[in-house]
A = this chain, B = another copy of it.
Amino acid sequence: MQLSAFEEDFVQHFGEMGSRWGIARTVGQTYAVLFIKQDPLCADDLVDALGVSRSNISMSLKELQAWNLVRHRNVKGDRRDFFTTPDDMWQIVRTLIEERKKREIDPTLTKLRELQMQEPGPENAYAHEKVTEMRELIEGLTSFYDELNQLETQRLVALIKMGAKLRKLVTGTAKILPLTSQTTTKG
Chain A positions within 8 Å of B, measured between CB atoms, are 4, 6-7, 9-10, 13, 17, 20-22, 35-38, 87-90, 93, 103-104, 107-108, 111, 115, 118, 120-121, 123-124, 126-128, 130-131, 133-134, 137, 140-141, 143-144, 147-148, 150-151, 153-155, 157-164, 166-167, 169-171, 173, 177, 179, 181-182, 185, 187
With contact pairs A118-B6, A161-B181 given, residues A127 and B36 touching in the complex (Cβ less than 8 Å): yes
Contacts of A171 in B (CB 8 A): 151, 155
Contacts of A35 in B (CB 8 A): 130, 134
Contacts of A115 in B (CB 8 A): 6, 9-10
Closest B residue by C-beta to A177:
B158
Rounded to whole Å, the gap between the CB of A84 and the closest CB of chain B is 12
Contacts of A88 in B (CB 8 A): 187
Q: Is the pair B177, A163 in contact by a Cβ cutoff of 8 Å?
A: no
Contacts of A38 in B (CB 8 A): 126
Copies in the complex: 2
Closest B residue by C-beta to A159:
B170
Other-chain contact of A90, B144, B147, B177, B187 (Cβ < 8 Å) = B187
Contacts of A150 in B (CB 8 A): 167
Complex Cα distance, B160 from A137, in Å, reads: 10
Q: Is the pair A111, B22 in contact by a Cβ cutoff of 8 Å?
A: no
Contacts of A163 in B (CB 8 A): 143-144, 147
Q: Is the pair B104, A36 in contact by a Cβ cutoff of 8 Å?
A: no
Rounded to whole Å, the gap between the CB of A61 and the closest CB of chain B is 20
- Beyond A6-B118, A6-B128, list 6 extra A-B contacts (CB 8 Å): A6-B121, A20-B103, A150-B167, A154-B182, A154-B185, A162-B177
Closest B residue by C-beta to A22:
B22
Q: Is the pair A10, B185 in contact by a Cβ cutoff of 8 Å?
A: no
